[in-house]
Amino acid sequence: MVLDVDVRPVLTWGPTICACRSAAPRRSSCPTARAVFLDRDGTLIVDRPYQARPEAIEILPTVFEGLRLLADAGYLLIIVTNQSGIARGYFGTRALRRFHDHLGKIFADHGIRIAAFYYCPHHIAGRRPELARPCNCRKPAPGMLFRAARDWGIDLGRSWLIGDMPTDAEAALAGGCSPILVGPERARGDRRWTVVATFEEAARWITQDGGSDCAILRRVPE
Ligand SMILES: [Mg+2]
Ligand SMILES: [Zn+2]
């Protein structure tokens, strides 16, 4: 008898973690994991400022294809996202968690596991006094990368960050990762990072061109 069932393993997704809260110190030996850190808004999903309703999620073109390439190449996939909407009082951490669970499920349904979602809720102009301050986790600072590296035993020098803004690339460089930016014209013109047209192209760049030697790249393709 042939059973007409879908036998793909059911994938799950990782937790939403405030990068700025101190974590239990990890006694890991030499970090060996490789990660691709992923900016969220404008890189994976359409950027709708301060939006935390799951219904508003719209995955950008070629993101599924690109993430599959990266996962198949053995990279941990970790989202790192500034969420000043929390400091500004637009939404809370529960709404953010719900949003990320929805996003994680969308990717899991496409065979892609997001290992974790790190966020920084701070902003100097926030309305919530306890969150209205500068933070080393808010990109372009590299705190989120350091926190994730500690949690997962990641070798930052063999890891990448895909984003859409120069601030993403600055965070990567400050953290010792190689940056790639997708798309916008405003990202061009700085030779310290690579700029490509689509997310899938960024993934191909990592898995084919750059994967063998993950030093910080300075080539800007035409
Ligand atoms: Mg972005
Ligand atoms: Zn923070």
From ligand 2's centre to the CA of 121, what distance in Å? 5
- In this predicted structure, the answer to whether residue 117 has a pLDDT above a threshold of 60 is yes
- Residues marked active site are found at 39, 41
Q: Is 96 exposed, middle or buried (0-12, 13-18, 19+ CB in 10 A)?
A: buried
C-alpha distances out from residue 57 to 103, 105, 118, 187, 211, Å: 7, 12, 18, 23, 30
C-alpha distances out from residue 91 to 52, 119, 121, 126, 128, Å: 7, 13, 10, 12, 11
Average pLDDT, the chain: 89
Q: Could you report the per-residue pLDDT of 37-54, keeping only the tens digit for each? A: 999 999 999 999 998 999
Ligand nearest to the CA of 18: 2
Q: Could you report the per-residue pLDDT of 99-110, keeping only the tens digit for each? A: 999 999 999 999
Ligand nearest to the CA of 144: 2
Q: Could you report the per-residue pLDDT of 164-218, keeping only the tens digit for each? A: 999 999 999 999 999 999 986 656 677 888 899 999 999 999 998 654 444 444 3
Give the model's pLDDT for residue 3. 61
From ligand 2's centre to the CA of 28, what distance in Å? 24
From ligand 2's centre to the CA of 91, what distance in Å? 16
What number is the average pLDDT over the span 92-103? 97
From ligand 2's centre to the CA of 139, what distance in Å? 9
Give the model's pLDDT for residue 135. 97
From ligand 2's centre to the CA of 204, what distance in Å? 32
Question: If you classify domain 31-209 with CATH, what class do you get?
Answer: alpha beta
Sole residue written with tokens 């700085």: 190
Query: Closest Cα to residue 31, out of 176, 156, 153?
Result: 153
Give the model's pLDDT for residue 31. 87
Ligand nearest to the CA of 136: 2
Domain spans in the chain, listed from the N-terminal domain onward: 31-209
Q: Residues lining ligand 1 (ion), CB within 5 A?
A: 39, 41-42, 164
From ligand 1's centre to the CA of 108, what distance in Å? 21
Percent of the chain with pLDDT over 70: 84
